[in-house]
Amino acid sequence: MTLYSSQTANVHRTWLLMAGFLVLVIATGYGVSWYYNSPIILYVAVFFAVLTNFWSYWYSDRAVLYMTQAHPALREQYFDFYTVTENLAITAGIPKPKLYVIDDPAPNAFATGRDREHAVICATTGLLSMMTRSELEGVVAHELSHIKNRDILLMTTAVVLAGFLAIIADIFLRMSFFGGGKSDNDGGNQFTVIIAIVGIILAPIAAQLIQLAISRKREFLADASGALLTRYPEGLASALQKINAYGKPMKKTSHATAHLFIGDPFGAKSTNFIERIFSTHPPVKERIDALLSGTKK
């Protein structure tokens, strides 16, 4: 896959994600409204599905920054962060993104926003204090690649939509345990209730699978794109080694935003088969090997 085809594919995936979310919420709302014999539930589900899609496109980056407790980075305090980002943004041919910082000793970073003109790069204080300049360049180049490859809209939208799915699934599941539904004499009622409850339970699982699907390949592509940007893959490889070696989780972590970060915010994990399936990030060793493979030829 080329960089240009990846950019186009990410735009298409974003619209498919939003359309799939709309269908899933409306279908769930229809099932619950039928069970409670209340059309208003369906109307409310449609309204909130449309509203959430609109809000996730325009304001999901604000939600991410709020959830991670990030604050604007001052140029005087984080001068290297600013100069590295300015230089690499010029090289990449994109506007310099806004810079934010999270007060956390765990080294990590992410990019968010809906497009190149409204992008943000956020780094933890731990990463900014721990990395050498070449390592910081590797991390920033990786995040700029997410912006240039148009990953950020898909990644950021998934945060809001997945979180909303989990909320409505919880609400509907709680409703299903209370009375008010159709009579047990209605044909097929028991079967419909079972299907509705199963669908409600599977909604947040589907959201998690969406995040897993968009996370892994894009990390390898951003690593490769970042290495091309700096012409020094060893810098990013060394940064990934430090992030992985730290091992401890961030102070404030969330499954909703975990896929955004360059490293797993829950800390280093074992590489057994089950954990690899449900991890939002590919193994660090595989990423480092891919980065350094070209330098060993």
Q: Which token pair is 38?
A: 């209340």
**Measuring CA to CA, how many Å separate 162 from each of 3, 85, 105, 279?**
27, 30, 27, 16
Q: What are the residues whose beta carbons fall under 8 Å from the beta carbon of 231, sequence distance 6 or more?
A: none
143 is catalytic: yes
> Taking phi first (over 0 means left), then psi (-120 to 50 degrees means alpha), and beta for anything else, what does residue 88 get?
alpha
Query: From CA 123, how far away is CA 28, in angstroms rounded?
Result: 38
Out of 76, 143, 219, 286, pick the active-site residue: 143
Strand, helix or coil for residue 230: helix
**Other C-beta atoms lying within 10 Å of the C-beta of residue 135:** 23
User: Cα angle at 177 between 174 and 182, to 5 degrees?
Assistant: 120
Q: Which residues contact 225 (CB under 8 A, 6 or more apart)?
A: 3, 141, 142, 145, 148, 149
Q: Which residues are annotated as catalytic?
A: 143
